[in-house]
Amino acid sequence: MFDPKTFAFDPEKISEFFKQNDFTKQFQNFKMPEVDTEAFMTAQKKNMEALVEANKAAAAGYQDLFKKQVSIFEETMAEAQKHLKSFDTTKLDADSAKAQAELAKAAFEKALANMQALAESAQKANASAYEIVSARIQESLVELRDMATKLAKKG
């Protein structure tokens, strides 16, 4: 079963792992005829760097989203307490019921607007991460095509 304590995803730790472990050294003596292993490993390193950057962008976006959620919650609680204090339980006539209904409607509309804002923040975080990965995929495809073209010319 998945245990987040044993597999905590931390983009900084992953980045540090790849910096400390230079995998290109493991392939220095490994030679395939006519394959540029250095170019291949450079491309893979760029891929990992792009993934780390994408995860950093997503994490920053979600941190901002969390801050907004906390702020909205605190604001909502403060408003609710203010309205509860002003609510007179001894006077329950049509006018006070109408006023309470208007307050409830306004609170509901504000909650919907807040949910929309939070959804947009989450979407921005995801879009930012996607753009980083998508750009790197396009670059990687060009690099692989160029390597294949070089191999075909040599062969």
The answer as to whether 40 is a domain residue is no
Question: Measured between alpha carbons, how far is 2 from 119 in angstroms, rounded to an integer?
Answer: 27
* pLDDT at site 21: 66
Count the domains in the chain. 1
Q: At what angle do helices 37-86 and 94-154 cross, to 10 degrees?
A: 180
As a residue count, the chain comes to 155
Backbone dihedral region of 34: left (phi > 0), alpha (psi from -120 to 50 degrees) or beta?
left
The string of pLDDT tens digits covering residues 77-98 is 888 777 777 766 666 778 877 8
The answer as to whether 107 is a domain residue is yes
- Mean residue pLDDT of the chain comes to 77
Burial letters 113-123, b for 16+ CB under 10 A, else e? ebeeeeeebbe
Mean pLDDT in residue range 121-148: 86
Structural domain harbouring 115: 48-154
86-90, 98-102, 123-127: range with highest mean pLDDT: 123-127
